[in-house]
Amino acid sequence: MLAEFKTNLPAVTDQAATGPAKEIIDATQEKLGFVPNMYRTMANSPGYLSTYIHGYNEFRGNSGFNAKEQEIVFLVISRLNQCEYCVAAHSMIGDKMAKLDEDTLNAVRAGIQIADEKLQALAVFTAQVFETRGFVTKAQAAAFLDAGYGENQILEVVLAIAVKTLSNYSNHIFHTDLDAPFQPYAG
């Protein structure tokens, strides 16, 4: 789902990037071999891109969630925000890097029951935090904690929501073109 409004700001090219945005674009090119279109649009506000990258890296490195769990969290949020770009991107990451099985990946994308009880508890809790804007009930938190997660990971879910809000909303506003590696996971 894209916003009715589409900004006229261009994607930032390698040549036009400066300061922190250039550092991020250059580092991303070196690490991934390409720069996602989403980064190039976010680079119109270097603080926006920098904040996104910092939060994203903190979640990836310090959330206490394993790679599969991280993709569950990001996919749930992106699906609820109706961000076609991030659903496709995190589906590719979930498949190729986190090695989510096809049934789990498809269930998360569709918003239906996941066979793995712990991952299901994570998906449900992430949706509850998102939908209630953090006003989770004691019972909702207890179900998350009883599944084997820690109270600190409640904050990590909130961090993921903040990070995905930045990316999902900018993709809506920019109508970001889906990068070739993510295209097989569209729709």
pLDDT per position as a tens digit, 32-88:
999 999 999 999 999 999 999 999 999 999 999 999 999 999 999 999 999 999 999
Q: Is residue 39 part of a domain?
A: no
Domains contained in the chain, number: 1
**pLDDT classification of 105: cutoffs 50, 70, 90:** very high
Residue 129's domain comprises 66-185
Query: Chain-wide mean pLDDT for the chain?
Result: 97
Burial of 123 (0-12, 13-18, 19+ CB in 10 A): buried
CATH number of residue 80's parent domain: 1.20.1290.10
Amino acid at the residue 51: T
Q: Structure tokens of 184?
A: 């097989």
Give the closest residue to 75 by CA, choosing from 94, 57, 59: 94
Place 1 in a pLDDT band, splitting at 50, 70 and 90: low
> Is the residue at 43 inside a domain?
no
- For residues 75 and 81, give the distance between their C-alpha atoms in angstroms, rounded to a whole number: 10
